[in-house]
Amino acid sequence: MRLAALFLLVMTSTAFAEDLSNFERVLIPAVTKQEIAGANGSRFVASRVFVSMDTAVRYFPHYATSVSEPAISQARPRELVDPFIVGPPSRLGRLLFLEKPLSNDVVVDAALFSRAGDDQRANETRLPIVRERDFKSGRTEILGVNSTYIYGPNACPNTATPQFRHALRVYDVDSRGDGAVIVRVFTDILGAGRAVTTPIREFTLPLTSREGSDPSYPAYGEATIDEVCVPFSCHTPCSNVPLRVEIEPVTPGIRYWAMVSATDNFTQQVSLAYQQ
């Protein structure tokens, strides 16, 4: 099975290798023009554009309305371009290829819009634009993941409801198809002037899923980061605690990028924590 997947990957890469060898990969973590239904009645739509600043720049993919296969196209100076306006939707994001050395002259912008239930008002979250120089190959950490609870109106014993749901996503930006990372989750609780670190969970995450076969679809793996309840009192049965997510490659030579999304269970507003 792995051999067949590797053969498919090689064939796909070979078809585009000559054209894309001088292009920089730019990861956009969410790409779709179609509304995506999430948990708790949430709805998500991502919007993204890039602007060529001073000169014409070639890019991939580009979807013409008359063809289904992506192709290389060219943006004129200062032309506003949306390379994904036509083509399959993607919940997991895409790789935009920009011609070197002009890729630094291109400004890329992306936003995720979320709604709660039937509410037509949209919350906007700016998405990180991850250029090839930002891809990682060693052990990294993601900070700023907070396990937070909302308390009920009752006295003791009170109820605690998680405010957020957290999801980890790790991208194999070279789409090798055989990659994996080890994920470790810790709590770092400050006490007596120092941080007390407690291991919570450790697991291996395969980066073997893909949404499509052309080079703009990265391989990825995703997992839920469970909320942590640290008992405190009957009034506040779960303390709010910061989580730290450590990621270490298993596969030699792999290049990856990771983020943790926090979706508010009440407003469906999305915030992101990711590698710096």
- Reference 248, options 200, 197, 176, 184; nearest CA is 184
The whole-number pLDDT of residue 34 equals 73
- Using CB atoms within 10 A of its CB, is residue 145 exposed (0-12), middle (13-18) or buried (19+)? buried
- The answer to whether 166 touches 181, Cβ cutoff 8 Å, is no
CA atoms within 13 A on the CB side of 229: 14
Q: What is the pLDDT of residue 2?
A: 39
| pLDDT the model gives residue 192 | 62
Angstrom distance (rounded) from CA 167 to CA 144: 13
pLDDT of residue 247: 97
- For residue 10, the model assigns a pLDDT of 39
Looking at residue 88, its pLDDT comes to 73
- Residue 275's SS3 state is coil
Burial of 196 (0-12, 13-18, 19+ CB in 10 A): exposed
pLDDT in tens, the chain (276 residues): 333 343 334 334 434 444 798 999 999 998 877 777 777 777 777 777 788 888 899 999 987 666 667 888 888 888 888 888 777 777 788 999 999 999 988 999 888 887 776 666 678 888 899 999 999 999 999 998 999 888 888 778 788 889 999 999 999 999 998 999 999 999 887 766 677 888 999 999 999 999 888 899 999 999 999 999 888 878 778 888 899 999 999 999 999 999 999 988 888 888 888 876
Find all residues with CB under 8 Å of 29, minimum gap 6, and list them: 92, 93, 110, 127, 128, 130, 169, 171, 259, 272
**CB of 208 closer than 8 Å to CB of 179:** yes
CA nearest neighbour of 72 among 80, 63, 84, 82:
63
First to last CA, the chain: 35
* Residue 33 neighbours by CB distance under 10 Å: 15
Q: Which of 42, 73, 75 is nearest to 56 (CA)?
A: 75
Do residues 235 and 159 lie in contact, with contact meaning Cβ atoms separated by under 8 Å?
no
Give how far the C-alpha of residue 87 lies from the chain's centroid of Cα atoms, to the nearest Å.
20
Q: Nearest-CA neighbor of 10 among 172, 173, 176?
A: 176
Distance CA 158, CA 88 (A): 47
Q: Contact, 227 vs 239, CB < 8 A?
A: no
Looking at residue 104, the DSSP 8-state letter turns out to be G
CB-based burial label for 269 (10 Å; 0-12, 13-18, 19+): middle
DSSP designation for 209:
B
Instruction: List all residues 6 or more positions away from 210 whose beta carbon is below 8 Å from its beta carbon.
Output: 175, 177, 217, 218, 219, 220
Query: What whole-number distance in Å separates Cα of residue 273 and Cα of residue 251?
Result: 24
Q: Which helix (H) or strand (E) holds 221?
A: strand 219-225
**C-alpha neighbours within 13 Å on the C-beta side of residue 162:** 18
